[in-house]
Amino acid sequence: MVKKLLIGACALSLAASVAFGAQGAKFYVSEGEKEKPFMSLVNEKISTIGFVLSDPHERINDAYKTKWGTEFQTVKGVTSKHPDFDPTFKPTLDNLGFFSITNDAVVGPLLVKEPSLGGFSPFNLGIYKKMGEDKTYVGHVMPKTMLDIVGVKDKAVRKTFIASFEPLDKMTEATMGKKVQYVDYKSLPKKPMMTFEVPFDRSVGVDKFKSDFQSKFEEAFEAHKYIIAGYKDMKGSMTDLNVTSFNRFDAYWVYSLCHFRFSEGIFNQGRADANVFAPCSMYMYVDKGSNKLMVGMPRLATWQAVMGIKDKKMVDSITALDKEITQIMKELGAKEL
């Protein structure tokens, strides 16, 4: 059974624009605290334009403070030192949250043509507010950048996917205001995606393999202190929507993956704007009749490239996680492509 845990990740100062660069992320900037209207947007309004909220993670900043900024804990009336207390921890955010959303009716048929689009399906509509600044930021990765990262070249798919953001942006503007800031970037990493294939014995049945692999996957990543921040059964969603073309797949699901301490080291320590990339969407699918599970996820190096992250400690942590995720997948029997 998939464990959905509250996790952290995302939100702070905007990266400086790069001349002649592509637009990588978009933020609506509102004066004052705008948590209430934003929550109304994601919980009530976006469903009227076809977007589905699958895994909300609100006020991650509070979770950071509880885990590393709380010196003592009381359990069953007994007070003791909190095992995770970090005296160097300093909160920098009044609010930090990410909200995984997808326009299922639009994205489902596109996945049939371009399965790698699962790397941003769902994607994050994130919010953050810094301490000492009376502004609220709400944003997402630009859809063109999402497409470029996952490698979608089909012109019709690109056009449809990009157009699906127009009503979302219009509604966000109506809720959060018209002031917009962009983060520009020069180029993507040479290999922006990590991709794998996992062979399996089809005679055991796809459902049995899926159940066994998911258990091993979750156990392996949680042992390395990752959190399964969400799970979306895209095959089930498309069956409910009667998208018959999705029969191309025997199974298709997406994990939302996060490393809580890593996220705090990015979002709470100066780059909360990178929250638009969190949590990482790792898609997995089995083509009809196939004996291979196909897996893909944007590398964390794309955060570094698009958001212009230059801090050495952050860069080192990004590099380390990309390597670790790849190693964990190989230990699960995956072959890197």
- Cα–Cα distance for residue pair 167/178, rounded to 1 Å: 14
- Cα–Cα distance for residue pair 42/53, rounded to 1 Å: 7
Helix, strand, coil tally for the chain in percent (to 5) = 40, 30, 30
Per-residue pLDDT for 293 more than 90?
Answer: yes
Q: Is residue 17 part of a domain?
A: no
Per-residue pLDDT for 68 more than 50?
Answer: yes
CA angle in degrees (0–180, nearest 5) for 51-53-59 = 135
User: 3-class SS at 198?
Assistant: strand
- The band of 77, judged by pLDDT with boundaries at 50, 70 and 90, is confident
Write down the pLDDT at residue 4: 36
Write down the pLDDT at residue 7: 33
Condensed to tens digits (0 to 9), the pLDDT of residues 165-181 reads 999 999 999 999 999 99
- The band of 3, judged by pLDDT with boundaries at 50, 70 and 90, is very low
Question: Domain residues for 77?
Answer: 22-336
Identify whether the C-beta of residue 283 lies closer than 8 Å to the C-beta of residue 107: no
Query: Mean per-residue pLDDT for 287-306?
Result: 97
Per-residue pLDDT for 56 more than 70?
Answer: yes
Condensed to tens digits (0 to 9), the pLDDT of residues 185-216 reads 999 999 999 999 999 999 999 999 999 999 99
Per-residue pLDDT for 14 more than 90?
Answer: no
Handedness of CA 276, 277, 279, 281 (dihedral sign): positive
Query: Mean per-residue pLDDT for 233-255?
Result: 96
Q: Is residue 215 part of a domain?
A: yes
- Cα–Cα distance for residue pair 203/225, rounded to 1 Å: 33
- Cα–Cα distance for residue pair 226/230, rounded to 1 Å: 12
Write down the pLDDT at residue 19: 37
In percent, the amount of the chain with pLDDT more than 70 equals 94
Q: Is residue 1 part of a domain?
A: no
Tokens of 105: 């009716």
Handedness of CA 214, 220, 223, 227 (dihedral sign): negative
Per-residue pLDDT for 2 more than 60?
Answer: no
Condensed to tens digits (0 to 9), the pLDDT of residues 254-276 reads 999 999 999 999 999 999 999 99
Write down the pLDDT at residue 79: 87
How high does pLDDT run on average in the chain?
A: 92
Condensed to tens digits (0 to 9), the pLDDT of residues 104-128 reads 999 999 999 999 999 999 999 999 9
Write down the pLDDT at residue 1: 40
Based on the structure, what is the number of domains in the chain? 1
Higher pLDDT, 83 or 215: 215
The 3-state secondary structure of 15-40 reads CCCCCCCEEEEEEEEEECCCHHHHHH
Q: Is residue 244 part of a domain?
A: yes
Q: Is residue 246 part of a domain?
A: yes
Q: Is residue 7 part of a domain?
A: no
- Cα–Cα distance for residue pair 254/311, rounded to 1 Å: 30
Per-residue pLDDT for 143 more than 80?
Answer: yes
If one counts every other C-beta atom within 10 angstroms of the C-beta of residue 238, the result is 24
CATH code assigned at 121:
3.30.310.70
Q: Is residue 180 part of a domain?
A: yes
Q: Is residue 68 part of a domain?
A: yes
Q: How far is CA 312 from CA 269, 304, 324, in A?
A: 13, 11, 18
In percent, the amount of the chain with pLDDT more than 90 equals 89
Per-residue pLDDT for 92 more than 70?
Answer: yes
In eight-state DSSP terms, residue 279 is S
- The band of 302, judged by pLDDT with boundaries at 50, 70 and 90, is very high
- The band of 317, judged by pLDDT with boundaries at 50, 70 and 90, is very high
Smallest Cα–Cα separation from 161: which of 99, 107, 223, 91? 107
Write down the pLDDT at residue 74: 84
- Cα–Cα distance for residue pair 64/92, rounded to 1 Å: 10
If one counts every other C-beta atom within 10 angstroms of the C-beta of residue 220, the result is 14
Tokens of 234: 């895209």
User: Model pTM?
Assistant: 0.91
